Amino acid sequence: MANATDPDTAEPSSPGEGLAVGEDGRVRCAWGIHPDIYRTYHDTEWGRPVTDERAIFEKLCLEGFQAGLSWLTILSKRPAFRERFDGFDPEVLAAWGESEVEAALGDAGIVRNRAKVEATVGNARATLDLWVAGDSLSELLWSCGGASGSSPEAALPEATALSKALKKRGFRFVGPTTVYSTLQSLGVVNDHPARCWVHADCQAEQDRARGRLADSTG
């Protein structure tokens, strides 16, 4: 990882590297040891498969908000983000107007960046357009492969293609690095090193998720 304390702005660890032993004796990704909010996120969320549309939309938006900031900042503010952005319900956010945007910009509990707030609204509308066209965020993201590697662009070329596809559909703040971080956190790729105690669980869950998606589209 480029920054060992920040999972979603950093380069993925290579197997056997970037590990540490926690107070409970478990081997984890080094960034997932401290603080407690990181350890909980590492153990219960990062790399565990997500296929729900609303949850995917939320993570994609939060990764966009994270650009230029630490992921710790976003995690700490996530409850406020969820409250301000109506649970990241695309149908609700797509109907936002200038008054809702201004209210969000006045909320000190979130990241008050106009471009990112407006992008969230725009991304909600783009998501609805996807649905109308018979597509979904889940299908787009999970169409990517499951390999991991040393850098976002080199490890998963699909991230660059997916970034371009999302931008073509009207999404913003979805550059290749942000998209790859989203794929990591949503379990589309499993970038826990092999010796991390979470790796095997995430891999098994990923295999099951891909199986369910294949059955639903087959």
**Predicted local distance difference test score (pLDDT) of residue 185:** 95
Catalytic residue among 11, 58, 63, 158: 63
Report H helices in 52-198.
Answer: 53-66, 71-84, 90-93, 98-105, 114-132, 137-142, 152-155, 158-168, 176-185
**Predicted local distance difference test score (pLDDT) of residue 12:** 36
**Predicted local distance difference test score (pLDDT) of residue 172:** 97
- What span, in angstroms and rounded, lies between the C-alpha atoms of 82 and 5? 24
**Tokens 């794929």 -> residue:** 183
Q: Which two tokens stand for residue 85?
A: 């952005």
**Predicted local distance difference test score (pLDDT) of residue 123:** 98
User: Measured in whole angstroms, how far is the alpha carbon of residue 151 from the centre of its chain?
Assistant: 16
Residue ranges of domains in the chain: 19-49+191-217, 53-185
Asked whether residue 202 is marked as a ligand-binding residue, the answer is no
**Predicted local distance difference test score (pLDDT) of residue 93:** 98
**Predicted local distance difference test score (pLDDT) of residue 216:** 82
Catalytic residue among 31, 38, 46, 71: 71
DSSP SS3 for 92: helix
Residue pair 187/48 in contact by the 8 Å Cβ criterion: yes
**Predicted local distance difference test score (pLDDT) of residue 9:** 37
Asked whether residue 34 is marked as a ligand-binding residue, the answer is no
- Rounded to the nearest 5°, which phi and psi values hold at 94? -65, -20
Q: How far is CA 108 from CA 81, 93, 111, 186, 207, in A?
A: 10, 19, 7, 27, 40
Catalytic residue among 31, 38, 41, 180: 41
63 is catalytic: yes
197 is catalytic: no
Residue pair 176/130 in contact by the 8 Å Cβ criterion: no
DSSP state of 108: T
Fold of 53-185: Endonuclease III; domain 1 (1.10.340)
**Predicted local distance difference test score (pLDDT) of residue 8:** 39
Asked whether residue 42 is marked as a ligand-binding residue, the answer is yes
What does each of the 218 residues of the chain score in pLDDT, given as a tens digit? 333 334 433 333 333 479 999 999 999 999 999 999 999 999 999 999 999 999 999 999 999 999 999 999 999 999 999 999 999 999 999 999 999 999 999 999 999 999 999 999 999 999 999 999 999 999 999 998 765 554 544 556 889 999 999 999 999 999 999 999 999 999 999 999 999 999 999 999 999 999 998 888 76
User: Measured in whole angstroms, how far is the alpha carbon of residue 131 from the centre of its chain?
Assistant: 20
DSSP SS3 for 195: coil
